[in-house]
Amino acid sequence: MTPRKVLTAFRLDPAMLAGLEAVKDRDGIPIAEQVRRAVQRWLDEKGVSAEAARPARGKRTKRA
């Protein structure tokens, strides 16, 4: 089963976003996919696996 993706928001410089839009228009690769690929490559270069970078998930408990 594929793990669910987490919605994440962050800010980009307008020029960087324009570049991502240009790649999307030219190659048809959605911006989110471009960002995922770039982050994965950066983590690989840093020698960190995406699995190791994830925080441990604890059990959810109801708040009193």
Task: Give residue 46's identity as a one-letter amino acid code.
Answer: K
User: Using one digit for the tens of pLDDT, what is the confidence trace for 36-55?
Assistant: 999 999 999 999 987 765 55
How high is the pLDDT of residue 18?
98
**Does the pLDDT of residue 8 top 90, yes or no?**
yes
pLDDT, tens digit, for every residue of 10-25? 999 999 999 999 999 9
Backbone angles phi, psi at 48, to 5 degrees: -115, 125
* pLDDT of residue 57 exceeding 70: no
Q: Phi and psi of 28, rounded to 5°?
A: 80, 15
Give the ranges where 1-64 is alpha helix by DSSP (H): 14-27, 31-46, 50-53
